[in-house]
Structure 1
Amino acid sequence: MTRNGLRPTRRAIGTVMAGLLLAWSAAACASSGTAPGAGSADKGPKSIDTYRKEGIKVAVADAPPYSQILADGKVTGASPEILRAVLKRLGIEIKDGVVTTYDAMIPGLAAQRWDVVAAGMVIKESRCKQVLFSEPDIVSTMAFGVPAGNPRNIKSIADGVANKDLKIAVLPGTFEEGVLKKAGVTAGQLVTVNDPRSGLEAVKAKRADAYFYTTLSLRQLVKDDKSFDVTEPPKDSPVTGAGVAFRTTDTELLKAYNEELNKFKATTEYVELMKKFGFDPEAVKGVTTAEMCKTAG
């Protein structure tokens, strides 16, 4: 096609194409809620009234008893159920739940793909620099999932540091991975897996000698499988405190949430909920977010 009898030049074609690409990019960014070149879609805080009208979208992990989504779509597990109970006191409902991996939770929160994370996410120093955590609602331990009889006699993190031949399965982005790396377990010893059950599959396939994960989750995963044992929590592993993660802009919501959470933790409803999912309701007493935010990792 020509205009005024002249064939368009390469520069003209390039200019048109660049303009089309720019327009497409702007449209795509608008649909995703991001500005061109922006690292996230954080548009600032939402008011509590807005959350009351719109509800809250929550990210969870497929990691019972901490969190999961059932076949009927219900978001459940200790962390989401605590969230639901506290939000109810604020007049807010959970409108939707998304299962995702731990390493995607904080980026997705910043990008506004969900409003909060309720997945038993452990509070630690590096995460406290990226999100706001509620006060701890769950305190628990970690352990090793090993073949029955524990043939490699893995009982501590120090065993993994001392024996460089040991392979340990971990979920990427989790507190457990950070603990092992901090202790001196090398990257070559770590076998990363996609989801909680894949850690046991890695051990069963002999790609890993052990799977380092939360104690209660391991016990639930192996409860019907006699080919695995769960070790006692290693004495050299830290106690983990978990809470709900909020965007750094949601200070109003966090303040209101913490006020109601502290009241809720003093009720029999909280005690019964913790026992239902296998957690010790007494373990959380005296544990604070400020303390947990000093935990390396």
Structure 2
Amino acid sequence: MIELSRRSVLRSAGVAALGASLAGWASGCSSVPSGGPAASPNGNLLDTAKSQGFLRVAIANEPPYTQVNTDGTVSGCEPDVLRAVCQRMGIKDIQGVVTPYASMIPGLNANRWDVIAAGLFMKQPRCGQVDYSEPVIVSTESFATPKGNPKGITSIAAVTSNSGLKIAVLPGGFEEGILKTAKVPDSQQVKVSDGRSGIEAVKANRADAFLLPTLSLRALAKDDAGFEVTAPLKDAPRTGSGAAFRKTDASFHDAYNKELAAFKQTSQFADILNKWGFDPTVVQGVTAQELCQTAG
């Protein structure tokens, strides 16, 4: 679960893609008022989205959760599922807006986008501000450490028991919430702007480890052999995410959940999760109500 720029994985090609995404969004939405989507006659988000042909989605450009392609289109596990479910609802496509995790819920409630599908993991404070769909993914947390993990950091308990350790986290991220819940003081936290910055902090010895979802760290490791990824942390809370909607869009949320449940029974759902490295069986039986009990 654990906001990218909780974990924005911006590689050299990703930076160019980010610019393309923002430019594409601006041109594609030029007719949409800056205060929110073009209003439908009855103010219903489903009617609005069908009429304009797309739903605006906040993402973080953090593979495998979200990804901006070189042509400016949006993919990744969560956007791919969102797009497929929206098409079942009569909405042709989605348009991505890259934004830091800490800005996602405020921007949603200010009508700057219509939905969040970014690996924004469920926890009590967030669930009080937005309505989450049922989970799409369930995730684990790991540390990125220097090669050989010289300080043996393999658990949250190892951090709480050693006040000399410095842990890199993304502001507003689920991981920052994990450390706060564990009462790790701010003096032990190194705030970084994105996934690459977190890795660089570890490699430059400004942080002893970087806390991030396991799959995000493994994605970064594909292009950088200068660090290692620990096994999933056994003492980190179980995390998961789904699409997040404004509480005022309750009818859309209910309709989306209905279509999502049906879509989960298709092979296409499993294909999307497998493509991005997630196990589709892990989410079976996990509910938003359960994940929303996570403190943080």
Same fold (TM over 0.5): yes
Q: Which residue of 1 aligns with 2:287?
A: 288
Q: Which residue of 1 aligns with 2:125?
A: 126
Find the aligned partners of 1:231 and 1:245 in 2 and give their Cα distance.
30
2:123 counterpart letter in structure 1: K
- Partner of 1:262, secondary structure, is helix
1:52 to 41, 50, 53: 50
Find the aligned partners of 1:47 and 1:118 in 2 and give their Cα distance.
16
Q: Which has the higher contact order (CA 8 A, sep 6+)?
A: 2
Structure 1 residue runs of 5 or longer lacking an equivalent are 1-30, 35-43
Q: Which residue of 1 aligns with 2:161?
A: 162
- Partner of 2:144, secondary structure, is strand
Find the aligned partners of 1:277 and 1:45 in 2 and give their Cα distance.
35
Instruction: Confirm or deny: 8 A CA contact 1:134 1:243 kept in the other structure.
Output: yes
Find the aligned partners of 1:200 and 1:45 in 2 and give their Cα distance.
44
- Partner of 2:158, secondary structure, is helix
Aligned positions, number = 258
Q: Could you list the structure 1 runs, at least 4 aligned residues long, displaced by more than 4 angstroms after superposition.
A: none
1:198 counterpart letter in structure 2: S
Deviation at 1:102, TM superposition (A): 0.4
Seen in structure 2, the aligned counterparts of structure 1 residues 287 and 294 have a Cα distance that, compared at 3 Å, is: same
2:276 counterpart letter in structure 1: F
Instruction: Confirm or deny: 8 A CA contact 1:45 1:250 kept in the other structure.
Output: no
Find the aligned partners of 2:272 and 2:50 in 1 and give their Cα distance.
24
- Partner of 1:57, secondary structure, is strand
Deviation at 1:95, TM superposition (A): 4.2
Instruction: Confirm or deny: 8 A CA contact 2:221 2:227 kept in the other structure.
Output: yes
- Partner of 2:150, secondary structure, is coil
- Partner of 2:216, secondary structure, is helix
1:243 counterpart letter in structure 2: G
Find the aligned partners of 1:192 and 1:225 in 2 and give their Cα distance.
21
Q: Which residue of 2 aligns with 1:178?
A: 177
Deviation at 1:94, TM superposition (A): 3.1
Q: Which residue of 1 aligns with 2:267?
A: 268
Instruction: Confirm or deny: 8 A CA contact 2:56 2:95 kept in the other structure.
Output: yes
Instruction: Confirm or deny: 8 A CA contact 1:62 1:195 kept in the other structure.
Output: no
Structure 2 residue runs of 5 or longer lacking an equivalent are 1-32, 37-41
Q: Identity, % of aligned pairs?
A: 55
Seen in structure 2, the aligned counterparts of structure 1 residues 195 and 204 have a Cα distance that, compared at 3 Å, is: same
Instruction: Confirm or deny: 8 A CA contact 1:155 1:231 kept in the other structure.
Output: yes
Q: Which residue of 2 aligns with 1:203?
A: 202
TM-score normalized with structure 1 length: 0.84
Find the aligned partners of 1:95 and 1:226 in 2 and give their Cα distance.
35
Deviation at 1:32, TM superposition (A): 4.7
TM-score normalized with structure 2 length: 0.85
